[in-house]
Amino acid sequence: MALMKVIEGSMAVAEAAKACRPAVVSAYPITPQTHIVEDISQMVADGDMPNCEYVRTESEFGAASMIQGAEAAGARSFSATSSQGAVLMYEVLFAIAGLRLPCVMAMANRSVSTPLSIWNDHQDAISARDNGWIQLWAEDTQEAADMIIQAYKIGEDHRVLLPVMVNLDGFLLTHVYEPVELYDQKMVDEFLPPYKPLYALDPKNPVTMGTLAQPEVYTEARYMVHDAQLKAKEVIEEVADDFRKKFGRYSGGLVETYKMEGAEVALIAMGSIIGTMKDAVDEMREEGMPVGVVKVRTYRPFPVEALRAALKDTKAICVIDRSISMGMEGPLFTDLKAGLYAASDAEVLGFVAGLGGRDITIEDFKDMAKKGFSRIKGERVSEMEWYKLDTDILPEGI
Amino acid sequence: MVAKEKLTIGLVAKPGGTLNYHTGGWRTFRAVINHEKCIGCKRCADSCPDGAPYECAHDGKKKKFCVDYDYCKGCGICAFECPVDAIDMVKEEK
């Protein structure tokens, strides 16, 4: 029987990773990811993960390289990182995707220096969106843990063969204590069979991985990764359905909608702020305002069709980004507008909010949604806003 | 028309190796050893990054060295190291 326990989000992720029986776990500690790998290293040291080697490395670059090597040799692997650590992994993350190695990594989302901040936003993962990794985004700790298990099944599917990053908000999820339903090992084993690599390094049957690609084949190699990303959409939905059948929860898939029936305004975002948004929507619905929430669970591949379907009857869409593409706008805002282009007449408003751990409250979301209604009425509302930017503290001339 | 070779997932390929791939084709200059001057000291072979010089003859007193042009990239280290200036770097005519 599965066991409901009140545990820290990091421990829930560690328990999920353990249940997937990785042969190699390698990581370098960084706030706020530390507890995840600390818990796993404890499990390994205690003998609770007998067939797993925990490899300590000198840096995140080393940790990423370690899981790359493990997967190339045909072993299931796990890592976790955050912020600067993810940035240091950057080169290897591209290599892992290009080599089509289905590594799974938890990303405890945190802002990226400079200025230094240990608090949550989404800049670390968002800045890694183009490297070929599938990106899943969790709203709560149960979802984060469930997504780890689904991530292996998605990535290791031979239609996909791509690495998967499971994003959970630093501190807000990694350090929160919530009831989490833990896993019966037998059920996980039935759900997730051992990893069967398409190719693996073997001295008896040598192969070359990571070859040079001349201009005649490079484009095709990149296209193959893109094609796998697109095919992953179907696999992600399948795996979420399989997971529900096995464990009784739907905690994956591409998008989730909340109170979108008859919604004129939709709030759309990723991560733990969705919970606050749902509370805001509950209050507004009681006040008679037709508002709903669209949660992006999968950011890469970007679920264009699912979003078009979810947002087809809305008149205004408020996109909240906890990151910024400098010199442009919030990346989800850009992606959503591109995805809806010529498919929707809805007004789309972008809000950059919650950077570097700044709180976003129920009142803030209600305010954003109200701006959506104002826009529908034709009132002047800026299309892209740095939400609650404190202009009083900006220097003269800015 | 010859059928094009299909790519594999992740571009996994047969193991590469210089047994089949001759890197000497990158060369602009070729090292030419003058056997009249060569004293067989083997310094050219020891200093070569590719191990291209090899023992190829003996005049009764001294070993003589030749260069394997499948691998000589023309870097000129051997010519620099040769104690009797027996090695000339000759421009390749292509």
B53 belongs to a structural domain: yes
* DSSP letter for each residue of A101-124: ---EEEEEE---SSS---S--SHH
For residue B37, how many other CB atoms are within 10 A of its CB? Answer: 12
List all residues 6 or more positions away from A4 whose beta carbon is below 8 Å from its beta carbon.
A179, A180, A181, A182
A162: tokens are 């791509």
The structural domain count of chain B equals 1
Verify that A166 and A184 share a domain, yes or no.
Answer: yes
Say whether residue A226 is in contact with chain B using an 8 A CB cutoff. no
Is residue A174 within 8 A of residue A36, CB to CB? The reply is yes
Same domain for A356 and A280: yes
Is A283 inside any structural domain? Answer: yes
**How close, in Å, is residue B88 to chain A by CA atoms?**
34
Please give the tally of structural domains in chain A: 2
Rounded Cα distance, A382 and A209, in Å = 50
Please list the residues that pair with B87 across neighbouring strands. Answer: B33
Pairing mode, strands A104-109 and A4-8: unpaired
Give contacts of A209 with chain B, Cβ < 8 Å. 10-12
Q: Which of B5, B7, B8, B11 to mutate to test the interface with A (most CBs of A within 10 A)?
A: B11
Buried b (16+ CB within 10 A) or exposed e, A324-352: bbeeebbbbbbbbbebbeeebebbbbbbb
Quick one: A358 and A387 in the same domain?
Answer: yes
- Position B11 in a domain: no
In terms of domains, do A74 and A164 share one?
A: yes
CATH number of the domain at B47, please.
3.30.70.20
In a domain, B12, yes or no: no
Question: Residue A2: what pLDDT?
Answer: 64
Q: Indicate if A238 and A362 belong to the same structural domain.
A: no
Q: What is the CATH number of the domain that holds A325?
A: 3.40.50.920
pLDDT tops 60 at residue A1: no
Confidence of residue B93 (pLDDT cuts 50, 70, 90): confident
> How confident is the model at residue B87, as a pLDDT?
97
- The distance of B17 to chain A (nearest Cα, Å) reads 10
Interface test with A, best of B9, B21, B23 (most A CBs within 10 A): B9
- Please say whether the beta carbons of B64 and B56 come within 8 A: yes
Answer yes or no: do A334 and A385 share one domain.
yes
Q: Which long-range contacts (CB under 8 A, 24 or more apart) does A200-209 make?
A: A200/A72, A200/A73, A200/A74, A201/A72, A201/A73, A201/A74, A202/A73, A202/A74, A206/B15, A207/B12, A207/B13, A207/B14, A207/B15, A208/B12, A208/B13, A208/B14, A208/B15, A208/B16, A209/A72, A209/A99, A209/B10, A209/B11, A209/B12
Percent pLDDT > 70 in chain A is 99
Smallest CA–CA distance from B14 into chain A, residue: A207
Q: Is the pLDDT of residue A237 over 60?
A: yes
Please indicate, yes or no, whether residues A66 and A111 belong to a single structural domain of this protein: yes
Residue A398 lies in a domain: no
Is there a single domain that holds both residue A57 and residue A165?
yes
Contact A166, A107 (CB under 8 A): yes
Q: Is B41's pLDDT higher than 90?
A: yes
Tell me how far apart the alpha carbons of residues B46 and A287 are, in angstroms, rounded to a whole number.
86
Instruction: Identify whether residues A155 and A65 lie together within a single domain.
Output: yes
CB atoms A217 and B9 under 8 Å: no
Q: How many other C-beta atoms lie within 10 A of the C-beta of residue A1?
A: 5
Residue B61 CA, distance from chain mean position = 25
Question: What are the phi and psi torsion angles at A384 (to 5°)?
Answer: -130, 125
Query: Is the domain of A85 the same as that of A232?
Result: yes
Q: Is B10 on the interface with A (CB under 8 A)?
A: yes
Residue B56 lies in a domain: yes
Q: What is the domain extent for residue B33?
A: 24-91
In a domain, B10, yes or no: no
Average pLDDT over residues A11-17: 98
Count interface pairs A-B at CB distance under 8 A. Answer: 40
- Alpha helices in A120-167, H assignment, sequence order: 123-126, 141-156
Q: For position A76, what pLDDT does the model report?
A: 98
pLDDT of residue B14: 86
Q: What is the pLDDT of residue B21?
A: 85
B13 has a chain A CB within 8 A of its CB? yes
Option in A100, A206, A217 nearest B10 (CB): A100
Same domain, A238 and A298: no
- Tell me which of A212 and B32 has the higher pLDDT: B32
What pLDDT score was predicted for residue A3? Answer: 80
Whether B85 shows a pLDDT value over 70: the answer reads: yes
pTM across the whole model: 0.90
- B32, part of any domain: yes
What's the CATH number where A135 sits? 3.40.50.970
Predicted confidence (pLDDT) per residue in A124-180, tens digit: 999 999 999 999 999 999 999 999 999 999 999 999 999 999 999 999 999 999 999
Domain interval for residue A342 = 255-393
Residue range A186-213: mean pLDDT, rounded: 95
Q: How confident is the model at residue B59 (pLDDT cuts 50, 70, 90)?
A: confident
Contact flag A208-B15 (C-beta cutoff 8 Å):
yes
pLDDT at B16: 78
Distance (Å) of CA B50 to CA A199, B73, B84: 31, 8, 21
Q: And the tokens for A196? A: 């069967």
Q: Among residues A193, A216, A247, which one ends one of the domains?
A: A247
Same domain, A143 and A72: yes
Q: What is the C-alpha separation between A208 and B94, in angstroms, rounded?
A: 32
The Cα–Cα gap between A108 and A141 comes to 11
Question: Is B34 part of any domain?
Answer: yes
Average pLDDT over all residues of chain A: 97
Is pLDDT at A301 greater than 70 in this prediction?
A: yes
Task: Identify which has the larger pLDDT, A3 or A313.
Answer: A313
Residue A63 within a domain? yes
Nearest CA in chain A to B12: A209
* Contact assignment for A209 to B12 by CB distance below 8 Å: yes
For residue A109, what are the β-bridge partners? A169
- Rounded to whole angstroms, the Cα distance separating A56 from A33 reads 15
Taking only the tens place, the pLDDT of each residue in A44-83 is 999 999 999 999 999 999 999 999 999 999 999 999 999 9
Q: What is the mean pLDDT of residues B27-32?
A: 95
Distance CA B19, CA B50 (A): 13
CB contact under 8 Å between B10 and A161, yes or no, is yes
| Of A102, A112, A46, A50, residue with least CA distance to A79 | A102
Please state the rounded mean pLDDT for residues B41-61. 94
